[in-house]
Amino acid sequence: MNFYYITGTSRGLGKALAEHYLESGPDNRVIGISRTCSISHKNYSHFQVDLTDVEKTKDFHFPPHHNAKRIALINNSGMVGQIRPVGKLDADVIISSYNLNLISPSILMNSFIGAYNSSNAEKIVVNVSSGAGKYPIGSWAGYCASKAGIDLFSKVVEEEQKTAFGYKFRVFSIAPGLIDTAMQDQIRSAEPGDFNRLNDFINYKIENQLLHPDIIAKKYAYIIDHVSEFPEVLLSVKDIEPTH
């Protein structure tokens, strides 16, 4: 059996990834972790968890999977937060953004590695990163900073695995590029005076530069299914072209 823990499965990339693995074979089991459930499948189970609440995240525990072939954690949930310059942000939204984008994924990674350290299964962690974690975008301070944080957290874990544990776990932080999701809807609804790149994101939609989540999900799945082809921790799906 293969077990895929995926956060944010109610819509967008998380739902597309869940459906991909549910359709890929009877030996796949998908476990969704999010506030709402929108998938009904005999091989899907759901844990209702609000990942902006770190106390709720701390209460989640990964169960044992004896004789599993693969166990994967995909930290997909994320939020751009308020699209406003620093000085105009709500403090509670800053906290929620960091909790969802960085703190809860870090807690889940810690729990996942602790739970399956002795398992003989193939063990993979994938964090959904962002190009925004590589360079600053005005009015996205919390999003940029938290995605940069998950990139470096991932690199530290990979370094630990490489130097001390002989790669018991493979860890990736993968930027998905431009996806046609609710987050893009939110970005396009920003106030022009608060976001100087608003027209760029409006044009991405007009010019059909936003890819469907199913297309991006297949690229993530290719990486997960062929980890030996990808020695680096930080990846972008725009550079991924499946070879077979």
Per-position pLDDT tens, the chain of length 244: 999 999 999 999 999 999 999 999 899 999 999 999 999 999 999 999 999 999 999 999 999 999 899 999 999 999 999 999 999 999 999 999 999 999 999 999 999 999 999 999 999 999 999 999 999 999 999 999 999 999 999 999 999 998 877 779 999 999 999 999 999 999 999 999 999 999 999 999 999 999 999 999 999 999 999 999 999 999 999 877 765 5
Residue 113: predicted pLDDT: 96
Tally Cβ neighbours within 10 Å of residue 149: 18
Residue the block writes with tokens 């970005």:
187
Task: List the CATH code of the domain at 2-176+212-238.
Answer: 3.40.50.720
Residue 62 DSSP one-character state: P
Torsions phi, psi for 25 (to 5 deg): 165, 155
Say what the pTM is.
0.95
Say how many CA atoms lie within 13 Å of 22 toward its Cβ.
Answer: 19
User: 81 in helix, strand or coil?
Assistant: coil
One of 116, 143, 167, 222 is an active-site residue; which one? Answer: 143
Torsions phi, psi for 32 (to 5 deg): -90, 140
Residue 237 DSSP one-character state: G
Residue 194: predicted pLDDT: 95
Torsions phi, psi for 235 (to 5 deg): -135, 165
Name the CA radius of gyration of the chain, rounded: 18
116 given a catalytic annotation: no
pLDDT digits (tens, 9 = 90+) for 87-130: 999 999 999 999 999 999 999 999 999 999 999 999 999 999 99
Residue 241: predicted pLDDT: 72
Query: What is the 3-state composition of the chain as percent helix, strand, coil, each rounded to the nearest 5?
Result: 45, 20, 40
Residue 167 DSSP one-character state: S
Residue 165 DSSP one-character state: I
Residue 233: predicted pLDDT: 96
pLDDT digits (tens, 9 = 90+) for 225-234: 999 999 999 9
